Chain A
Amino acid sequence: MGNELNRRSFLNAAVSAAGLVAMGPLLSACGSGPAQRAGVGSEAALKAVLPAYVPNTSIKPDIPSIAGGPDVMTNPGFLSYPANRVATVSGIPGKGGTYSAVTPLWGTIPPADNAFYAAMNKALGVQLEMKPADGNNYNTIIPTMTASKRLPDWIQLPTWWNSQMNVGGLVGNQLADLTPHLSGDNIKKYPNLAAIPTAAWRTGAWGEKLYGIPSFATGFQIAGTLYFRRDVFDAKGITADQVKSADDLMKLGKELTDAKNGVWAFDDVYRYLYTSFGAPLKWRVDNGKLVHLFETEEFYAALDWNNRLAAAGYVHPDALAGDNANGNTRFFGGKTLISSGGTGTWNLADLQAGRAADPDYRRGAFNIIAADGKSTPRVDMGAGASIMSYLNINMKPEQIEECLAVANYLAAPYGSAEFTMVNFGVEGTHFTMVDGVPTATEAGKKEVQAQTYPFLAAPAAVVNSPGVELVTRDYTSWQAANVKALAKPVFWNMNISMPQAQATADAGQQVEDAMRDCIHGKKSVAEVKEAVASWKTSGGGDKLIQWTNDNVLQKHGTGQ
């Protein structure tokens, strides 16, 4: 029976993929016409439905969270794995339903029907068929599912692909509205979900309704920052905290570059530095007028500085040749000493990989600076979460409630009994405790370490590096020192779904291209200005600014 069903669904899937191009028109013809797009909703109406926030107090972190401004706080830190694994869910959440789930996986797909899935199904009380899909091709796998309207019951759609996967068009058409189940005090039925900060729920909201279930929510979301080799800096007696301006950085470039020995001070840093020059992330409101990044003087100042950095010979030649994939290898190997990247890089795996290349390896990050050295340093904060799962619109209300109960289990806090089960598996089978650190067995490496369930729901992010206190201490103290610099950009945490022509202008490919050549020293700032001028007229830039002003700023405000 099971086999037969599988084969049939497999055949259906094959047909829908092979016939996609030919039958596209027919498939859409069966639908109900052009889909409605959800966009930004009214601020007041959205506030009325956002879930209540009830922090979890059952497990105390070693380094508590520090609040910055509204919606801003550092991630709490754990120096060791909590010894007392408290249970936060009583009883079994599920009622025996069967659901399929698709999540992205950047790694080796674990064997289907493995012991870990079986143990999880038993603990959850549902038959959850996990179907992890290759993360590197995930953005091309999902559109074939949505085009044939064959989404699974539960699916992960990372927010950085929102426009490519057209999530704004899918919510309410193929993805279920969770507002009746989660809004306001309704969420208190699911205490672990209620412990997820409000900003993250807002990221999953479209047009005044709640759709997404956030994983790894954080109050310290920034695009990334500038890193340095702390071990090398310490050995040379350089104090990174003394770097307070773009000029200071440029001086470091001269001091650290030793091309003869194959060492360059910098890798590509533009992407995480341009806002230090006072440029907006993308939008700014000047005296009530909406201004795009490309229209600001600060943007050109940032380009000019990076252009000079490259021309001075302080940037590694491979970085200038556009090779970003090996940036970490260069940094680990000490070929570059200052690099940039997302904050997700700063973890235990990074330390282990770095120490494999150089036993002294230690990562450090510069404090957020203002390029002129005088203004108040600020960094634009991002949305409350970037991993977001959704339920299928065809599910009945009681099925949705069952899945939310499962999500509540998956979102149990760091160090709890449930968290240990979801992330490490069954003790004795998938992991053993070694010096107080849960350590994966062979079975655990194969079945559990490839993360699947946390992509459906997970607790708010914490900093931890079991077994090595250094990383947690370094990272949490950097967050604490910089939490005051986080500020909300214009249109913060607003899901904007724009027509294709505007989306194309928003991507601004021709300016991106000119910009990259400029920061690599191949084009002048004046040439970028020319590219911007043509982007504004023939590239749809002016229309984009007008559209955003009329449809977002005037209707919904800045969201700050």
Chain B
Amino acid sequence: MTTATPTRPDRGTRPARQSWRVRLRRDRSLVLMTLPAVVLLLVFNYVPLFGLVTAFQEYDPLAGIWYSTWAGLDQFQRLFGDANFWNAVQNTLYLSFVQLVLFFPVPIALALLLNSVLSLRIRNFIQSVVYLPHFFSWVLAITIFQQMLGGAGALNHFLRNNDVGTWDVMTNPDTFALLVSAQVIWKEAGWGIIVFLAALAAINTDLYEAAAADGAGRWRRLWHITLPGLRGVIVLMLVLRLGNALTVGFEQFLIQRNAVGYDTADVLDTFSFYYGIATGDYSYGAAAGLFKSVISLLLIWGANKLAHAFGEDGLYRR
């Protein structure tokens, strides 16, 4: 079993390393092509990392990073003693969990459904309809929800005129998690199916034909061919989702924060904004942001380990 699968080259048989000069000559057009992306990454993702030092200061924009007073871990001490911060952490995790349960399976189901539609015309039509909301801004999406479900919206206007009690879901903190999940599904589920559709297209159709010839029904084919074919992508998306568990969105919560109250709608990103940037307390916001980044890194690392343990590729091959 040394070189049985051609797609996974065995590490032992890799040719001896050539000198970097030879390799550079061989790959120079590839290197050239990736260069702009690397520069962008450096300028916009790595250089700003130096700004993290403000999390350990009493940063004063006028004095600049150089002359701001050093605060050590004071900001973090304040942060960990701040009930609003822990509230934001809790909200983030809760909303993330609810969205994982309610939102994550939707694009997969939609992709499977679309894949089973044979007429290309109907398929394209449905696809366009479910894609469209992705291109709306959150302001517009929430305005539409407010016009439909808000206290003065279409639904409540109807209820009121028929003397049935009103039902204002837009300002109800108890159902907020369901509301935002519904908004996310409406807006993003269509967009989310792209990657699954691509994975579906990659499944060898011979397998379906062979299974059908052997007498496998619709569900058996779904269970034994389609889902195993999607498994790699599903796990990859799950790893990414877990790694981003602390990033549940920003505008969506910023806009609706006043409607349901901060103790329900504040997530880590809005916390950094309101308690950091908006009040000029930059160092405090930076500390909250740094905390979030570190936890996210740990989460993505852990999720990736887990994926490897289950024999999947995860973010990269081992």
Contacts and interface: CB of A to CB of B under 8 A. Distances in A.
Judge: A and B partners, yes or no.
yes
Contact of A504 (B66, B83, B281): B281
Interface string A315-330: 0111011110000000
Interface in B21-63: 43, 47-48, 50-51, 58-63
Interface stretch (B89-97, B168-176, B195-203, B292-300): B168-176
Given A29-B66, A34-B63, A522-B261, A21 B47 contact: yes
B62 A522 contact: no
B73 interface: no
A322 B64 contact: no
Contact of A25 (B66, B157, B171): B66
Contacts of A321: 146, 150-151, 170-171, 258-259
A164 to B, nearest CB: 6
Nearest to A320: B171
Given A27-B64, A320-B171, A21 B48 contact: yes
Nearest to A507: B279
Given A509-B278, A538-B81, A317 B64 contact: no
A320 B156 CA distance: 15
Contacts of A318: 146, 150-152
Nearest to A522: B261
A143 B60 CA distance: 12
Contact of B83 (A322, A516, A534): A534
A536 to B, nearest CB: 14
A267 to B, nearest CB: 12
A163 B280 contact: yes
Interface in A1-58: 18, 21-22, 24-29, 31, 33-35
B191 interface: no
B170 A24 contact: no
Contacts of A33: 67
Contacts of A170: 62
Given A166-B62, A318-B152, A28 B284 contact: no
B224 interface: no
A22 B261 contact: no
Contacts of B48: 21
A147 interface: yes
A28 B170 CA distance: 48
A517 B262 contact: yes
The residue among B51, B66, B82, B83 with the most chain A CB atoms within 10 A of its own CB is: B66
A22 B161 contact: no
B65 interface: yes
Contact of A523 (B84, B151, B261): B261
Contacts of A504: 279-281, 284
A104 to B, nearest CB: 19
A33 B64 CA distance: 9
A560 interface: no
Contacts of A146: 62
A521 B284 CA distance: 30
Contacts of B305: none
B275 A317 contact: no
A318 B150 CA distance: 7
Contacts of B173: 522
A260 interface: yes
Contacts of A500: 58-60, 280-281
Interface string B145-173: 01000111000110011000000101101
A316 B260 CA distance: 15
B61 A166 contact: yes
Interface in A260-303: 260, 262, 264
A169 interface: yes
Given A28-B65, A322-B257, A503 B279 contact: yes
A335 interface: yes
A18 B43 contact: yes
Nearest to A324: B258
A320 B152 CA distance: 10
B274 interface: yes
Interface in A99-142: none
Contacts of B261: 513, 516-517, 520, 522-523
Contact of B50 (A22, A28, A509): A22
Contacts of B82: 538
Given A259-B160, A320-B171, A147 B146 contact: no
B61 A509 contact: no
A503 B279 CA distance: 8
Given A21-B48, A316-B152, A28 B257 contact: no
B64 A24 contact: yes
Contacts of A517: 261-263
Nearest to B47: A22
A376 interface: no
Nearest to A32: B67
Interface in B232-287: 256-263, 274-275, 278-281, 284
Contact of A317 (B50, B58, B151, B258): B151
Nearest to B284: A504
A501 interface: yes
Contacts of B61: 143, 147, 166
Contacts of A147: 61-62, 64
A322 B257 CA distance: 8
Contacts of B168: 317
Nearest to B51: A21
Contacts of A18: 43
Nearest to B46: A22
Given A321-B150, A538-B81, A28 B64 contact: yes
A510 interface: yes
Contacts of B278: 507, 509
Contact of B258 (A31, A164, A516): A516
A236 to B, nearest CB: 21
A25 B152 contact: no
Contact of A320 (B50, B59, B78, B151): B151
A27 to B, nearest CB: 7
A31 B48 CA distance: 22
A509 B279 contact: yes
Nearest to A321: B259
A541 to B, nearest CB: 13
A503 B82 CA distance: 18
A500 B280 CA distance: 7
A170 B60 CA distance: 13
Interface in A185-238: none
Contacts of A509: 274-275, 278-279
Interface string A149-171: 00000000000000110100110
Interface in A369-407: none
A503 B170 CA distance: 33
Contacts of B64: 24-25, 27-28, 31, 147
Sort A-B residue pairs by CB-CB distance and give the 7 closest, nearest first.
Answer: A317-B151, A322-B258, A28-B64, A507-B279, A321-B259, A513-B262, A25-B66
8 contacts: A25-B64, A34-B60, A164-B280, A166-B62, A321-B259, A322-B257, A513-B274, A522-B261
Given A147-B62, A318-B150, A323-B258, 18 more contacts: A21-B48, A24-B66, A29-B66, A33-B67, A35-B62, A146-B62, A163-B280, A166-B61, A260-B161, A318-B146, A321-B259, A322-B256, A500-B280, A510-B84, A516-B261, A520-B171, A522-B171, A538-B81
Interface of A: 18, 21-22, 24-29, 31, 33-35, 143, 146-147, 163-164, 166, 169-170, 259-260, 262, 264, 316-318, 320-323, 335, 500-501, 503-504, 507, 509-510, 513-514, 516-517, 520, 522-523, 534, 538
